[in-house]
Amino acid sequence: MRVILVSKPGNLFLSFILGLVMLLGLSLYAAPAAQAHANYEHSLPAANASLPAGKPPAYIQVWFTEKLELRFSELTVLDQNGSRVDSGDSQGVPGEPKSMRINLKPGLPDGAYTVIYKNASAEDGHIIKGNFSFLVGAGELPVNTMGSPLDLAEQGNTSANENSNPASIGLRWLNYLSTAALVGSLIFALLVWRPAVNRARATKRMGPELSLANEAGLQRVLRVAWTGLAGLTIGWLAWWFYQAATYSSQNLFQLFGIGTASGATGPAALPDFLFNTRYGLVWLVRLVLILGAFIALTFTLRSSGRRTWLDRLPGLRQARQSLLPGEEASQQVVSGEPAGDALVTSGTQGPLVAVLESRKYLWGAALFYGAAIMVTTSLNSHAASISDWVFWAAVTSDWLHLLSTAAWVGGLMAMAFALTAALPALRPGSGDRTRLFASLIPAFSQVTIVSVMILLVTGTFSAALQLGDVNDLLSTPYGLSLTVKIALLVPLVLLGAYNLLVVTPRMRGFAKSKKAGPQEGAGSIAAGALGLKFRKAVWLEIVLSVAILLAASFLTSSSPPKGLASSGVLYYQTVQNGLKVDLAISPGKLGDNTFEVRLTDVATGKPVTDASLVDWRVEMQEMDMGITNLQLKPLTGLPGRYMAEGPILSMVGTWQAQLLIQRNGFEDVRYAVTLNIKG
């Protein structure tokens, strides 16, 4: 008795209920803050500090929100004339992997000094650059320092945007597509194609051409897997060059010793990155796994009688014949054909099909290596920057998210190409194409339903970790990328639901019908039109999936909003009534806080200086304390910027806040945010 889970309405309903319960539980979970990039946290002396005259610090120490790759991180200290005043000994601090220090030259005169930092995160590999200033004795600090919440927030955003460049996004996209092709095609072969073909054969209504179609389809699936592996290999090499150049602040010409090195490390950065950083060590493991997948796929081909690179190695064939004398003959029996790409004759089992039936461990080994490659992606992702015990939960969730995406997206690719080769092998008008569709679509829908469930749960969990507030979805680059990804996911899910709930029953009805005619029966024109419509829907789903992976590439290249929150500032953006509003709060904790707003005219890009009222209003949610307001005043010398300080966030808990902006002759702007204040 064969039991088919999920496809029955009752099981389908229970699966959705279970997924929704898990989704709700993770949504309510109070996750710790994700760091995501090694942002500035605090320093000694503090940003914007004023020190007594004649008492300059002996050294500068800076703490960041993530562990650092010290070989590619440094501090520099300049005076107000731009001359270096440090001793050039930027170094890590023993026992403090998130901190760096640098000594200053003795006897520095009074004045303003600027500390410039550049660091490489040991967690996700992103580069952060920024600066802050301090003052010794009387004088004025430079205007653009980290003394204001907006300056701090924008330095974090600027660094994040530098990581969101075309090279980074393109290489991430290549790796996502390639991994999906490799892993998804293997999942499709084992969990979808093989069961579907066997189910169609069990009906005893399929013609002998099914063997031809089975072999042809499987060849295309394996070709998709090889293409994915080739893309992963190219992506590995390209990302190695890119990351080494980024870490060492070089371009590709400098990386290979061409042109002026400008004091950079040149080609030495390549092995330095690979062997002396956490990111590089994970990348080395990834290379080993890629080689493992390559060997597994190679032996899959050899077992089907095809010649591979192994046959070109000197003496290998003779060694195999002496050690395993019966293998060459057994390969001919298994394949039934000479080595090559020739298809089997009708009614016989093809070489790849025989290998899939008798040596599934080879396909399983390739799938194992592909899934393990995804683990290395998660270990160098935003999930890896989560602290404490949640680290493994975040990395596992990210891996499951990637695996589910690959099963869905890569499965679509494999199915589209498999059908392109398999359907022409089936006799037109016989109804065999319809019967294959009737077995294939439900089998793929089962995998898709499970994938969607996992994507919903893991995606919500990741959003809870990385987003500071629901408003971040429309006010930050990370949130906008996530919003686009969700928007593209909706039609993809709807297409899948249509195939499951509408196409599947109709296709089964055609397949089971024994009637003949243009509108009835498996070989009817109507059945053929439905099959064509399904294939077009699959290609549309592939286009949407590729766009979703591109949005994911933008997403993983951007800094999550909680990364800024962890660096001592809450940052929000909105556009209303032609007015762009940037809002920053520092430190965003219980007690005294600084609130700063910048107003910009969207049409002209010029600062707005004519606001008659910029009012910040807060109300405690857990306790009725009434509404407290604080009016922000214009900053002298900084047009369009308004600031106020005060202890109006006076209790730990959830505060509902609203920024009210009034201008004569314009509609009021009301921007609401939710603040989760901690002590």
Predicted model pTM: 0.71
The pLDDT of residue 168 is 86
* 566 has a pLDDT exceeding 60: no
Residue type, 552: A
* 606 has a pLDDT exceeding 70: yes
Of 534 and 381, the structure prediction assigns the larger pLDDT to: 534
Residues above pLDDT 90, as percent of the chain: 31
* 389 has a pLDDT exceeding 70: no
The span from the CA of 49 to the CA of 415, in Å, is 63
* 178 has a pLDDT exceeding 80: yes
Asked which of 34-38, 45-49, 125-129, 456-460 is least confident by mean pLDDT, the reply is 34-38
Where are the domain boundaries for CATH 2.60.40.1220 in the chain?
A: 40-155
pLDDT (tens digit per residue) in 414-454 = 999 999 999 999 988 888 898 999 999 999 998 999 999 99
Per-residue confidence at 6, pLDDT binned at 50, 70, 90? very low
Per-residue confidence at 128, pLDDT binned at 50, 70, 90? confident
Q: Is 620 left (phi over 0), alpha (psi -120 to 50) or beta?
A: beta
Per-residue confidence at 625, pLDDT binned at 50, 70, 90? confident
pLDDT (tens digit per residue) in 507-554 = 888 888 877 767 777 788 988 899 999 999 999 999 999 999 998 888
Q: Of how many residues is the chain composed?
A: 679
DSSP letters, 314-364, are TTHHHHHHHHSTTHHHHHHHHHSS-SSSPPPPTTSPPHHHHHHHH-HHHHH
The pLDDT of residue 114 is 87
Cβ proximity of 507 and 518 under 8 Å: no
* 563 has a pLDDT exceeding 60: no
pLDDT (tens digit per residue) in 217-248 = 999 999 999 999 999 999 999 999 988 888 88
Cβ proximity of 239 and 279 under 8 Å: no
pLDDT (tens digit per residue) in 49-100 = 888 988 999 999 998 877 888 888 889 999 888 889 999 999 989 988 889 9
Fold of 569-677: Immunoglobulin-like (2.60.40)
* 153 has a pLDDT exceeding 70: no
The mean pLDDT value for 271-300 works out to 91
Where are the domain boundaries for CATH 2.60.40.3340 in the chain?
A: 569-677
Fold of 40-155: Immunoglobulin-like (2.60.40)
Burial of 518 (0-12, 13-18, 19+ CB in 10 A): exposed
